[in-house]
Chains A and B, each alone.
Chain A
């Protein structure tokens, strides 16, 4: 581990780093440990949900564990359980360090964390019982979002007191991002809570509101925290200045403005201007990617981040790469014909996984790797640092698998959704209309369908007459060629990327287990000095060896 050097520009810390670490110790450790627990939960729900793609009957008789519930639970556990806890913990630590002040009012943080975790638990239980909102990406039940908002307010109170406790000549860019994330969370979840649950807007209007809230939560809330970590740690560990504050500022404001607008599907049942606005925003998103990517590339010029010896740098380098790839995917949505192919496939979910695990979890785990030992005491290291490397490797492999399978194989699925599968020259059908007993020749299937829809076709039996061969037979309407709205070929192509992605989910699960294990190990060894479980155990063994306590 390298030295404690605060290289962030001209900030001259008033309080000593050790004092700050001590002030942050319990609140931030509490947040990080909860994050580790929720990460295991999220990954487990992901694996179970993904398993259903292979075995649809798996756990099917348990209403709490349907595919829909597991998907929602996996995302809520990740977003609020892991990302919320880890993100808030890191926010507190970075803000204290950048402000050079000890954490203000740590009691509020502890109370907030308890509330926050109660909220996430309530959300998980609620979703299992079927209380999710119906907005994919923001399934938080009504009551849970209230608790989360209050919990976050407690933690944000402490963070903002710390933030305003001292004035520096210069604010480091990470501070902007963190303040934005603290403000954005109540704004976004409050909007969703108010407009989707408390006084819901009318049916169709829920679609853009839900999209905005779900997208903002990922792009702005998670994006700001993750980028703050990347922008803070990369220059800090490399002991360099950030290349340009102007680039950072440009990327920051653009991200805030565009983050909620991007990625609306081109086929969404909405007025055209909204889709165009979203495409326009997706197009402009390339500037965010360039601003942030170029800035950090110039900062880390000549240093291979992924090949670095420093594990934190590896984590953050991968996180940056994943963020850029997902940003490029967002940019690709500027092209409606590209979006039309991928909009109803697994690709969007795969990119969300890349963002969540490849970018955000990587950034958080890298930061936690750096921060946690320092919180507990000076000159400490992880008890088994080597195994922490495996977290990095497993998440990296999993993310690569999911993105490659998700986008590559979904391409085929999207292509077949956009191909005309029905033979263009259908046979001639004559349909028996039961009311009058007449034979009627609508010639085309849609006509038969509309007859049926109008209730004029009383019988489900249809007489088919193929004029070319003269064959006449009686078939049921659902057997008619072209009637099959879900041909087996599309079904297979839809499932393939998800089946492969299962492997990625398993890797994520393993890495989350390792992370939890490492946390437990670190805390057990070092948490309370002489009273930690590990030293107590050692004392116990020692006395046992001496023939003492039996």
Chain B
């Protein structure tokens, strides 16, 4: 290491290695990210006021005390059944007897009800068939006669014999003969078919009775009934009377049916523990399901900081990515989902201590206009208020405090910070259910 130019080249080479690892590589990967990964979860660009607000956030150095980084943690899987397969036995085999909750059994009951209704409808159809067939037979026989008549006349024509017409007439006669034969056969077979349909209906009834045995009476609420209806996949409104449901569902009930799911694991299971179960459900029982991650040791989720982990795509539309340095104040990755009303948020920015909660944030009074108000005059509607003794008062007594464009932009930016929609790389995480 005594040749000066070599040191020079070596330094350049080493620095370019360092650059390649932490600048070129990441910038190429992250620079190529797209808002839409082809699964329907497109990120919305930050536009308008919120985009200006990002500059206010940067200008005032908010990122020194607030992070926008909800961290990851441990989670398990909750396996949610969204649609049952047809066979109860296979389902039991897949998920085990212990997991066959009242709702799932009820769903099979609904399926059985549906099967009974279907079987009876078939039976009725079969019973109606012979009469209709007899009627048809008569018409067809008449038609056959007419066709034979026509064939005869065609054949007996002395002049201008048309071979094509004869052929057509022959064909129609043959077809009608076949139809008549079929009808005769079906009339003959009808008793057998009716018997089979009757048997199927009887079987369905027996199955229903057998399935009903698994459901304990009056153990289920209306919500459970609706969930059972949802996962059974039955949409027949005629069945609602059996389920003691109104024929017309209201919006909440409809939503419950549409989003019906039954958790069959506790949510603490790791993938290796439920892999076999999932494969059985999918390949054998034919059920549909979702895997919902459940936070098990995940402080940021369980403390309500955010609903999922922050990932790089959350910063896709930032002009300046500011993930933050320190949490001297709360994490803001999902602050948009927390801000309840604009007035309270403005009051917090104007005077963080005014809202009653202990806070050590500096006031940002210069983001607001202050106008003295004459005693007795009413506050302008745009003025920021706080609730004091149940009464709305100006955030600073004697003054009307009105947000400037910068404050409005800042709030718009804060409201645009949300992580409450799932991304493929960061699904929404559920809280662990209390036992």
Query: Which residues of A are at the interface with B, using a C-beta cutoff of 8 A?
Result: 52-53, 56-58, 60-63, 66-69, 71-72, 130-136, 163-164, 167-171, 175-176, 179-180, 183-184, 187, 191, 195, 200-212, 216, 220, 245, 249, 253, 256-261, 265-271, 274, 277-278, 340, 343-346, 348-349, 417-422, 424-426, 433, 435-436, 438, 440-441, 443-446, 449-450, 452-453, 460, 476-478, 482-486, 488, 490-491, 494-495, 498
Query: In the complex, A136 Cα to B320 Cα: how many Å?
Result: 11
Q: For A203, A265, A340, A435, which residue has the most chain B Cβ atoms within 10 angstroms?
A: A203
Q: Are the CB atoms of B29 and A422 closer together than 8 Å?
A: no
B residues neighboring A (CB under 8 Å):
1-4, 7-8, 10-12, 14-15, 17-19, 21-23, 25-27, 29-31, 33, 58-65, 67, 69, 71-72, 223, 250-252, 297, 299, 302-305, 307, 309-331, 337-338, 340-341, 344, 352, 358-366, 418, 420, 428, 430-435
B21, B252, B366: the one within 8 Å of A63 (CB): B366
Is B61 within 8 A of A271, CB to CB? no
Across-interface contacts of B352 in A (CB, < 8 A): 56
- Residues of B near A220 (CB, < 8 A) are 15
Cα(A333)–Cα(B59), bound, Å: 31
Residues of B contacting A209 in the complex (Cβ-Cβ under 8 angstroms):
22-23, 26-27
How far apart sit A243 and B223, CA to CA, in the bound complex (Å)?
A: 79
B31 touches A201 (CB 8 A): yes
Beta-carbon contact of B2 and A134 below 8 Å: no
Q: Are B327 and A204 in contact (CB under 8 A)?
A: no
Chain A min CB distance to B52 (Å):
13
Contacts of A491 in B (CB 8 A): 329, 358-360
A435 vs B64: C-alpha distance in the bound complex, in angstroms?
Answer: 41
Chain B residues in 8 Å Cβ range of A203: 315-319, 321
- B22, B31, B305 — most chain A CB neighbours (10 Å): B22
Q: Which residues of B contact A261 (CB under 8 A)?
A: 18, 21-22
Known: A203-B319, A346-B328. 9 other contacts (CB 8 A): A68-B61, A134-B322, A180-B7, A202-B30, A204-B316, A210-B321, A426-B434, A453-B420, A484-B304
Majority secondary structure, B binding face: loop
Contact A482 B304 (CB under 8 A): yes
User: Could you list 21 A-B pairs, sorted by A, with CB under 8 Å?
Assistant: A56-B361, A56-B362, A60-B363, A63-B60, A63-B366, A66-B61, A68-B63, A164-B4, A183-B11, A183-B12, A195-B23, A195-B27, A269-B311, A271-B29, A274-B25, A344-B67, A344-B326, A438-B252, A446-B430, A490-B327, A494-B327
* Residue in chain A with minimal CB distance to B302: A420
- What's the least CB distance linking B295 to chain A, in Å? 9
Q: Judging by beta carbons under 8 Å apart, are B69 and A260 in contact?
A: no
Please tell me if the beta carbons of A494 and B328 are within 8 angstroms of each other in the complex: yes
Minimal Cβ-Cβ distance residue in A for B18: A260
Q: Which residues of A are found within 8 Å of B60, using beta-carbon distances? A: 63, 66, 68-69, 130
Known: A207-B323, A340-B71, A422-B304. A436 touches B63 (CB 8 A): no
- The interface residues of chain B lying within 8 Å CB-to-CB of A184 are 11, 15
A261 vs B19: C-alpha distance when bound (angstroms)? 9
Cβ-closest chain A residue relative to B305? A485
> A390–B434 Cα gap in the complex (Å)?
60
Whether B72 lies near A60 (C-beta < 8 A) is no
A274 and B24 alpha carbons, distance in the complex (Å)? 12
Residues of B within 8 A of A495 (CB): 328, 360
* From B33, B307, B309, contact of A204 by CB (8 A): B33
Closest to A426 in B: B434
CA distance A167 to B359 in the complex (A): 63
Distance, CA A343 to CA B324, complexed state (A): 11
For B336, give the chain A residue with the smallest CB separation: A453
